[in-house]
Amino acid sequence: MRMKIRTKIVASTALVVSLSLLLSGLFTYQYVIGIIREQSVKDSRTKLEQISSQIQKMQEQVAKTAEYVITDTELNESLLEAPGMSLEQEYFKKVAIQEKLQRFIALNSTVTNVLIVRGDGEFFSAFSGYDDYYKQYLSQPWFTGLQEKRVQKGFSVPHDSFHLSKMQTGISYVVNYRNELSLTSPHYTLVLDIYYPELKNVFNDSRGDFEQIRLLNQDGAPIVSSPERTAADHTVLIQGGLADPERPYAENDDYIVITNRSMKEGWKQAAIISKEKLFHKINKILVYYIWIIISSLVFTLILILPVIFNITKPISRLVSAMKRVSVGDFNTSIAIRSGDELEILGGGFNRMVSEIKAHMAASLQNEETKQRMQIELLLSQINPHFIYNTLNTLIYLSHAERSRDAAKIALALIGILQDSMKVGDGFSTVSEERSIVERYVDIQQFRYPDRFAVEWDIEEEARDAVIPKMVIQPLVENALFHGICPMDGQGTIRIRTVLEGETLTVSVEDDGVGMDEATWRLKLRSPEAAGTSNQTRGIGLRNIKERIRFLYGPAFGLSVESEPGVGTRVVLKLPFRQWRQAAGGAIPGFDTK
Give the CATH number, domain containing residue 186.
3.30.450.20
Do 449 and 338 share a structural domain?
no
Residues 138, 161 within the same domain: yes
Whether the predicted pLDDT of 375 surpasses 60: no
Nearest to 478 by CA among 566, 560, 414, 384: 560
User: Which CATH number characterizes residue 474's domain?
Assistant: 3.30.565.10
Residue 312 domain-assigned? no
User: What confidence score (pLDDT) does residue 370 get?
Assistant: 64
Residue 218 lies in a domain: no
What pLDDT is attached to residue 540? Answer: 74
Distance separating alpha carbons of residues 524 and 561, to the nearest angstrom: 12
Among residues 140, 171, 200, the one where a domain terminates is 200
- In terms of domains, do 481 and 387 share one? yes
Residues 352, 490, single domain; the answer is no
Question: Is 442's pLDDT higher than 80?
Answer: yes
| Same domain as 451, residue 335 | no
pTM of the model: 0.47
In this structure, is residue 536 part of a structural domain? yes
Are residues 358 and 429 both part of a single domain?
A: no
The answer to whether position 362 is within a domain reads: yes
Of 161, 143, 233, the closest CA to residue 197 belongs to 161
Count of structural domains, the chain: 3
Residue 161 lies in a domain: yes
The model's pLDDT over 14-51, given as tens digits with 9 standing for 90+, comes to 888 888 878 887 888 778 777 877 888 888 888 888 88
The CA-based angle 273-275-281, given to 5 degrees, is: 115
pLDDT computed for residue 572 by the predictor? 94
**Cα atoms found within 13 Å of the Cα of residue 527, Cβ hemisphere only:** 6
Is 364 in the same domain as 392?
Answer: no
Q: State how far the Cα of 94 lies from the Cα of 439, in Å rounded to an integer.
A: 127
Whether residue 390 is found in the same domain as residue 537: yes
In a domain, 299, yes or no: no
pLDDT-based confidence at residue 517 (cuts at 50, 70, 90)? confident
pLDDT above 80 (res 150): yes
Same domain, 408 and 435: yes
Q: Which of 206, 178, 183, 171 is nearest to 48 (CA)?
A: 206
392 lies in the same domain as 354: no
The verdict on residue 297 lying in a domain is no
Any domain includes 359: yes
Which structural domain range is residue 340 located in? 330-379
Q: How far apart are CA 190 and CA 79, in angstroms?
A: 12
Beta carbons within 8 Å of 410's beta carbon, 6+ residues apart: 394
Same-domain check for residues 465 and 554? yes
Count the helix, strand and coil residues of the chain and give each as a percent rounded to the nearest 5.
50, 20, 30
Q: Could you tell me if 361 and 415 lie in one domain? A: no
Of the residues 200, 231, 257, the one at which a domain ends: 200
507 closest CA partner among 555, 544, 466, 559: 559
Domain stop point among 200, 224, 255: 200
